Amino acid sequence: MKRWEHEGLRIASVDVGEALDRNWWEWAWQGEPPADVIRVENPAPEVWPALEEAGFITKPGWVNWQAELRDSEDAFLAALSGSERRNIRLGRRFAAEHGIKAVVERGPSATSLEAFLEMYDAQITAMRNGIPYARRQQKDILRDRDCYVGVFAYHNARMVGGCLCQIRADQAMLQLRFAAAEPSARGGRLQRAVYMDAFQAARDLGLSRMSLGNDPTLYGHIADPGLFGFKSRLGFVPVPSHLIDPDIGGTEADLILSMNALADPSLLLAYAHTQPPQTPRPDGPTTRPPLRLVVLTARTDEHPPDIARHRAGFLTRVDIRTVPSRP
């Protein structure tokens, strides 16, 4: 057994034999140092059913959110719900009423990048378990700036919102890497307007797809649960990241023992079936395996979380998993 802690979440990694042989609830509650998650990394497909039967949830470690850009913005917007089109209009109205203008930079300058990172750092600091990935990669981004597109929104000379995207020519895709905005701009839905400008920048580059980046499949620890709904309402669907970038993620089977380090409710994207996803063709779009959503909660009262608000067209179903509190 290997144990570690990641931003307050205590994880114990075990092999399949140990995962299936031990009563983990007794272990967690009787004497030994507790863990929040018991994890089997990259279990063989033939043991997925047994792990699920034992209470583990088989899932990709990370997902990459993707959408076809379509030929124009009008065509893209036509596929969204009326409420989401309204949110985008409100974001653009907020920008117009406050004199906010967006600038697209192919190969962002060091000055623009630093202004973006200062805003990003402030946003990360305010998060429950924020990790400053963008700041850590500043030198690499500057070195490879020709592969990046920045969309930066300015009020006069001050940057108030923006996103940093990476060109993935091998995938005919522009991938959003990092996004940030000042609190007032987030409240005004400015980021939706910024994203629309990023989508158009991708079309102008001759790219056919957009990615909203990689997320861990557990929403409620590092990634906020609201991010799931935001991306799905924009018409994006999650694809296991390791099918696109083999070095990102992999398959995990997790048994959630505690909600202590998680938001309640938290959301977990998992495989819908106990069969592994197919390897993608190198020259074409990634095949998207069916996924389900598991809503995690410690609540046992008569008012469980509302699962209807988490439904999305790409999900086969939405389940609720109640995680007992430690006695």
Q: List pLDDT tens digits, range 37-74.
A: 999 999 999 999 999 999 999 999 999 999 999 999 99
Instruction: Name the DSSP class of 79.
Output: T
Exposed e or buried b per residue across 143-158, where buried means at least 16 C-beta atoms within 10 angstroms of its C-beta = eebeebbbbbbbbeee
H and E: helices and strands count for the chain: 11, 16
Task: Please name which of 146, 167, 154, 135 lies closest in space to residue 193, comparing C-alpha atoms.
Answer: 154
Q: Give strand pairing partners of 287.
A: none
DSSP string, 124-168: HHTSSS---HHHHTHHHHHHTGGGEEEEEEEETTEEEEEEEEEEE
**Geometric angle at alpha carbon 207, from 204 and 210, rounded to 5°:** 105
Return d(Cα 322, Cα 257) in angstroms, integer. 10
Q: Provide φ and ψ at 323, rounded to 5°.
A: -100, 115
Residue 284 confidence class, pLDDT cut points 50, 70, 90:
very low
Which tens digits make up the pLDDT trace of 123-132? 999 888 888 9
At residue 88, the 3 state secondary structure works out as helix
Instruction: Name the DSSP class of 215.
Output: E
Average pLDDT (109-114) is 98
User: Environment class of residue 142 by beta-carbon count within 10 Å: exposed (0-12), middle (13-18) or buried (19+)?
Assistant: middle
Average pLDDT (139-150) is 97
pTM: predicted TM-score of the whole model, two decimal places = 0.91
Return d(Cα 172, Cα 208) in angstroms, integer. 6
CA distances from 168 to 108, 172, 175, 243, 245 (A): 16, 6, 7, 15, 11
Return d(Cα 166, Cα 72) in angstroms, integer. 21
Q: Provide φ and ψ at 179, rounded to 5°.
A: -140, 150
Q: Considering only 107-121, 177-191, 297-311, which range has the smallest mean pLDDT?
A: 297-311
Question: Domain residues of the chain, as ranges?
Answer: 2-63+238-322, 70-207
Domain 70-207 matching CATH 3.40.630.30: the answer reads yes
Which tens digits make up the pLDDT trace of 309-321? 899 999 999 999 9
- Strands of the sheet containing 218-219, edge to edge, are 218-219, 266-271, 291-297, 315-322
Residues 6+ away with beta carbon under 8 Å from 147: 166, 167
Which tens digits make up the pLDDT trace of 172-227? 999 999 999 998 888 879 999 999 999 999 999 999 999 999 999 999 999 999 99
Tell me, what's the pLDDT at 28? 77
Within 10 Å of residue 136's Cβ, how many Cβ atoms?
9
Instruction: Name the DSSP class of 253.
Output: E
